[in-house]
Each structure stands twice: as structure tokens, then as C-alpha cells.
């Protein structure tokens, strides 16, 4: 089996987004052509296909961008430790060896947990350089008292989280209170300190794609390092049309300011074939920089298992059972 070549996991060293002063014109002038968005998104699956060793390479790159996640009410320290072990070794060593990737130290992009599990995850990942992300600010509804949401961020950072996934008050969007939304996110950014802020928009609850575009711009103006589609708890989570709108907002913000903002689709992405469409969208709309884990993350848990099955099929020509690729 020939060696599969993928882009190295690198940090491009881009400057962190400082945000912009609030300006209502930046959002009021935003419009979205719904039919054009849907037409562009629907073309991805049939127009672009990635096969054989190229598909294996793209799937390996996708693994390096996964925020391996457990956000269940029955989470335990043991489950989080198993998740961290999987983040360190996301693909069986025999498969990596056959692909010529056995010495590349492939890991997931991060591990994402509730605040109470941050210290457990930090300890389990010690020495790996895999960051711990904590969901915060009253996740998933984001409706706890504002002061408590700020303190939750500060507590997660103090516990060792280097990334904070916050949720916004969706009511600010639905009532058009853009200044309140800006002030909220800006305060959350300040509470993060050196930890990166990933702003969850909850797109399935924002009603229109125009609201998605406006909310994306406000989040970036307020200093978000990443914008993220969903909590994974909404009835509708990441979709390609929503992703296209958010990605175009990222492109517009970079053209306006020169700062690169990361993107994270989350919720409902469980099949390897689906993530290839998202990667294609990132490459075509934003370029190769956004195929790297410092600018592209995927909120997922079951996706990793399907990618590993697809890689084994590439190596052996046979599909394997799920139990051959456990999380533990």
C-alpha cells in the first residue's frame, strides 16, 4: 500500500481576531439569496467526488479537525478518559501503518466536554498537545443568569480549558437587538482571556439564513475566534446551506479586516461521505488554510467511527463491524 500524503497539521500563525467596534450598518446591509445558496449547496455532492487514496487522505485530515465530544447527562470520568485515549489514538495502528501514516502522530483536533469534566480531560491529555474545549454559558439553551454564564467561562479557563464553546441568547437575534448580542459576546470573549472563543449560533433556531449571516458577522465583530453552527441539541443542526452562509460571512470579514476566523459545523454529521462535502466547501470558498484544525473543526462523536471503518475498507477491501473500532 502506497503512502497516503496529507497536509501536515500546522499552525499558520495568523493573528487573533481583536474584533471591531459595533456598527449597525455592518449587519443591516446583509442580504442572502436563498435559491442561490440552496443551488450551490446541492451541487457539492455530485459535482465533486474524492475516491481511493485521495479520499483516504481527506478523511485522515478530517480526523485531525474533529472536536471529539461527549455531552451527555450520564458522562463519567471513565467515559471522558476513554474519549481522551481515543483522541490520542483515533485510528488503529495497523491501519495507519498500512497507509504509511504510522509515525505521524495523528490525533483529533480537540476533546469537548462539560465544565465538570475539564480537569479530568486535561489530565488525561497531558503531554499530547490536544486542547480541551468546554461548552459554557448555560449550554445548550444559554438562558441562565448572565453573571453565572460569565463565571462559568472563567471557571472552565481556570480548570485548564484552552477553548470555550459559548452559546448566544437567540432571543437577541429574533428581536433584532444586535447591540445586546454584540455586548454579550464581547463580554464572553473578555472572560476567555487567552482561551479561544468558539461562538455557537444555534442556527436551527434563528429562522432565516439572513439572521444566520447577520449573527455570524456580529459574533466576529465581537471577537469570536470561531463561529459554530449548533449545540447538537437543536432539532436542526449543521447543514450545507447554513455552512455556506457562515463561510461567506467569514470570507467577507477577512476581506474587510484581514483576520481569519475559524468555522465549526456541529450536530448531525455522522457519515464519512458527509464530511467530504464540508471539506470541499471549505476548500472552494476559503482555501487550503481552512482545512487545518486551527481554522476548521468538526463537532462530532460517531463520525470518527465511520471514518475509521472507511479507512479499513480502503486498506482491506472489506467493511468491518463497528465493534472493531470502539471508543474505549
CB-count burial class (<10 Å; 0-12, 13-18, 19+) for 82: middle
Cβ burial 49-71 (10 Å sphere, 16+ → b, else e): ebeeeebbbbbbbbbbbbbbbbb
Residue-level pLDDT at 327? 65
Q: What is the topology classification, in CATH, of domain 25-323? A: TIM Barrel (3.20.20)
What is the DSSP secondary-structure string of 190-232? Answer: HHHTTSEEEEE--GGGS-SHHHHHHHHHHHHHTT-SEEE---S
H/E run at residue 166: strand 163-167
Question: How crowded is residue 248: how many other Cβ atoms within 10 Å of its Cβ?
Answer: 18
* Tens digits of pLDDT across the chain (328 residues): 444 444 443 455 789 999 999 999 889 989 999 999 999 998 887 666 777 888 999 999 999 999 999 999 999 999 999 999 999 999 999 999 999 998 899 999 999 999 999 999 999 999 999 999 999 999 999 999 999 999 999 999 999 999 999 999 999 999 999 999 999 999 999 999 999 999 999 999 999 999 999 999 999 999 999 999 999 988 899 999 999 999 999 999 999 999 999 999 999 899 999 999 999 999 999 999 999 999 999 998 889 999 999 999 999 988 777 777 766 4
Q: What is the pLDDT of residue 47?
A: 61
pTM, two decimal places: 0.93
Rounded-to-integer distance, Cα 67 and Cα 37, Å: 27
Whether 241 and 209 have beta carbons less than 8 Å apart is answered as yes
Indicate the pairing of strand 132-135 with strand 163-167: parallel
Q: Exposed, middle or buried: residue 187 (CB in 10 Å: 0-12, 13-18, 19+)?
A: middle
Q: List, by residue number, the catalytic residues.
A: 165, 228, 264
| Continuous segment of H or E residues that includes residue 66 | strand 66-69
Spell 198-233 as b/e; 16+ CB within 10 A means b: bbbbbbbbbeebbbbbbbbbbbbbbbbbbbbbbbbe
Phi, psi of 196 (to 5 degrees): -80, 140
Rounded Cα–Cα distance for residues 241 and 167 (Å): 21
Q: So where are the chain's domains?
A: 25-323
Cα Rg of the chain, angstroms: 19
Cα-based angle 276, 305, 300 (whole degrees, multiple of 5): 65
CA dist 134 and 165 (Å) reads: 6
CA 101 to chain centre: 24
Cβ burial of 3 (10 Å; 0-12, 13-18, 19+) is exposed
Amino acid at each position: 500500500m502506497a503512502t497516503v500524503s496529507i497536509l501536515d497539521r500546522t499552525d499558520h500563525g495568523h493573528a487573533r481576531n481583536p474584533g471591531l467596534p459595533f456598527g449597525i450598518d455592518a449587519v443591516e446591509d446583509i442580504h442572502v439569496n436563498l435559491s442561490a445558496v440552496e443551488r450551490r449547496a446541492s451541487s457539492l455532492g455530485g459535482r465533486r467526488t474524492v475516491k481511493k487514496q485521495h479520499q483516504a487522505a481527506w478523511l485522515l485530515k478530517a480526523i485531525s479537525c474533529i472536536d471529539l465530544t461527549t455531552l451527555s447527562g450520564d458522562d463519567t470520568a471513565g467515559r471522558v478518559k476513554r474519549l481522551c485515549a481515543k483522541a490520542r489514538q483515533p485510528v488503529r495502528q495497523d491501519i495507519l501503518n498500512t497507509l504509511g501514516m504510522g509515525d505521524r502522530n495523528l490525533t483529533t483536533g480537540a476533546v469537548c466536554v462539560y465544565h465538570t469534566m475539564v480537569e479530568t480531560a486535561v489530565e488525561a491529555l497531558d503531554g499530547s498537545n490536544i486542547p480541551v474545549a468546554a461548552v459554557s454559558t448555560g449550554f445548550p439553551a444559554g438562558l441562565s443568569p448572565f453573571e453565572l454564564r460569565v463565571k462559568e467561562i472563567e471557571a472552565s479557563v481556570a480548570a485548564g480549558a484552552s477553548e470555550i464553546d459559548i452559546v448566544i441568547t437567540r432571543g437577541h437575534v429574533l428581536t433584532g437587538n444586535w447591540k445586546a448580542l454584540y455586548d454579550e459576546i464581547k463580554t464572553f470573549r473578555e472572560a476567555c482571556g487567552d482561551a479561544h472563543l468558539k461562538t455557537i449560533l444555534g442556527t436551527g433556531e434563528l429562522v432565516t439564513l439572513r439572521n444566520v449571516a447577520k449573527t455570524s458577522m456580529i459574533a466576529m465583530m465581537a471577537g469570536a475566534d470561531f463561529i459554530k453552527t449548533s449545540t447538537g441539541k437543536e432539532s436542526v443542526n449543521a447543514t450545507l446551506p447554513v455552512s455556506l452562509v457562515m463561510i461567506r460571512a467569514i470570507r467577507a470579514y477577512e476581506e474587510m479586516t484581514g483576520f481569519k476566523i475559524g468555522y465549526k459545523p456541529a450536530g448531525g454529521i455522522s457519515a464519512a461521505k458527509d464530511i467530504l462535502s464540508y471539506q470541499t466547501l471549505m476548500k472552494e470558498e476559503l482555501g487550503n488554510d481552512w482545512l487545518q484544525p486551527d481554522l476548521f473543526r468538526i463537532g462530532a462523536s460517531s463520525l470518527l467511527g465511520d471514518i475509521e471503518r472507511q479507512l479499513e475498507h480502503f486498506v482491506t477491501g472489506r467493511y468491518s463491524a463497528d465493534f472493531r473500532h470502539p471508543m474505549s
